[in-house]
């Protein structure tokens, strides 16, 4: 049997009828793609359709199979045999698909119930979104299988308006079911892009000390800042930095200094200043710091009672972070600050400040117990 010849013959018959593939597809309740495959010789019509096609084109089945018209017409007995063969094929197909159809409908029903329970009977913060997504995908697959084995899929595919409507309903349904996931994906994507595009600014020039500080004693003038002109509005989230020296003097031996700024979404500041004082200057500075009205700090960001150094003064906020001063008791004072928000730092602060300059136990990561506790509240 020559499939290509049969396909060309079917195409000629359609042209004689002056019909398009789409029009013919509606006659036989198939898709236009199916008609195209018949005429290209890729596939042959199902045996159950042969008699119907032959009647429509007013030819006999043998002519379709052989791909050309014959002088004699198929006699009544041959037509009856072909009809009986078609009926037999349909009956066998029906027996085969009956159990599959039942299983498919049961599967769709079970998946619908599952999605309903997960969506409506459980609070949103308890829903396992991964399981819900997998269940929804399984429902779509099962629905397609059901439509296929019942013969409805091919009919639906031939109706362009219906297909377009199904696409719109599906998109709207997905958006409605997973709007939280979609919104969170957009937000996370925006944050990740912002983090990639935001540089980490690091400075160690102590001569520019006052440009970095937010003093309420006048050392920091609000307005246009030559260093961070667009960021003065944050004023380091209102944290009081007057624990740090008002200025760097010639009598101060600065052993180490660094200021770091990072703004992936919300501004974050990290800094430390290590000064070795003369005996008199050290006593005077210690006295100044001990007069500072320190705040409670233990427990904030997992911070424990300071034991590595002596804590001279601290300004702590359970949301914004710390400004503080430590001493080794031998003339050295370490000034530090970690100022941020949202109970964690995007900045990997361990890369920029020695552990010994941090308050004991300080943990401003997303994995900290403090972040988990505050996020739940």
What is the predicted pLDDT for the residue at 25?
87
pTM of the predicted structure, to 2 decimals: 0.51
The predicted-structure confidence for 190-242, as pLDDT tens digits, reads as follows 656 655 567 888 999 998 888 787 654 333 344 444 444 444 444 688 888 89
Terminal Cα-to-Cα distance of the chain (whole angstroms): 76
| C-alpha distances in Å from residue 64, one per residue of 11, 17, 37 | 11, 16, 15
Q: Assign residue 160 a region: left if phi > 0, alpha if psi is -120 to 50, beta otherwise?
A: alpha
Q: Exposure of 196 by Cβ count < 10 A (0-12 exposed, 13-18 middle, 19+ buried)?
A: exposed
Write down the domain spans for the chain: 3-179, 200-376
CB 241 within 8 A of CB 215: yes
Chain centroid to CA 110: 28
Residues of the chain with pLDDT under 50: 73-74, 122-127, 216-234
CB 231 within 8 A of CB 295: no
The predicted-structure confidence for 119-168, as pLDDT tens digits, reads as follows 555 444 444 555 666 666 666 666 666 666 555 555 555 566 666 766 67
């Amino acid at each position: 049997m020559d499939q290509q010849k049969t396909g060309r013959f079917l195409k000629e018959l359609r042209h004689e009828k002056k019909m398009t593939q789409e029009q013919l597809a509606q006659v036989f309740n198939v898709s236009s793609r199916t008609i195209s495959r018949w005429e290209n010789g890729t596939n042959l019509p199902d045996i159950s359709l042969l008699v119907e096609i032959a009647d429509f084109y007013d030819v006999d089945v043998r002519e379709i199979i052989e791909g050309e018209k014959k002088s004699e017409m198929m006699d009544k007995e041959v037509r009856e045999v072909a009809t009986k063969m078609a009926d037999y094929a349909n009956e066998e197909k029906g027996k085969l698909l009956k159990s599959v159809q039942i299983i498919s409908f049961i599967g769709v029903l079970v998946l619908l119930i599952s999605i309903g329970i997960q969506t409506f009977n459980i609070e949103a913060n308890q829903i396992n979104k991964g399981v819900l997504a997998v269940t929804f995908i399984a429902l779509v697959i099962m629905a397609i299988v059901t439509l296929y084995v019942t013969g409805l899929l091919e009919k639906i595919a031939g109706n362009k308006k219906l297909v377009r409507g199904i696409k719109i309903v599906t998109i709207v349904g997905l958006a409605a079911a997973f709007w939280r996931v979609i919104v969170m994906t957009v937000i996370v994507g925006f944050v990740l892009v912002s983090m990639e595009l935001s540089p980490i600014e690091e400075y160690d020039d102590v001569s520019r000390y006052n440009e970095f500080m937010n003093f309420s004693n006048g050392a920091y003038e609000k307005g246009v800042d030559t260093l961070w002109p667009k960021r003065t509005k944050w004023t380091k989230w209102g944290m009081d930095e007057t624990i740090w020296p008002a200025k760097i003097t010639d009598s101060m031996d600065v052993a180490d200094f660094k200021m770091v700024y990072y703004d992936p979404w919300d501004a974050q500041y990290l800094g430390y200043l290590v000064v070795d004082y003369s005996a008199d200057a050290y006593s005077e500075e210690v006295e100044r710091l001990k007069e500072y009205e320190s705040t409670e700090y233990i427990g904030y960001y997992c911070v424990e009672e300071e034991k590595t150094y002596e804590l001279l003064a601290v300004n702590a906020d359970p949301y914004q972070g710390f400004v503080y001063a430590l001493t080794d008791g031998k003339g050295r004072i370490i000034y530090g600050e970690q100022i941020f928000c949202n109970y964690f730092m995007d900045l990997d602060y361990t890369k920029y400040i020695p552990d010994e300059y941090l308050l004991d136990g300080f943990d401003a990561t997303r994995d900290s117990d403090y972040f988990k506790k505050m996020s739940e509240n």
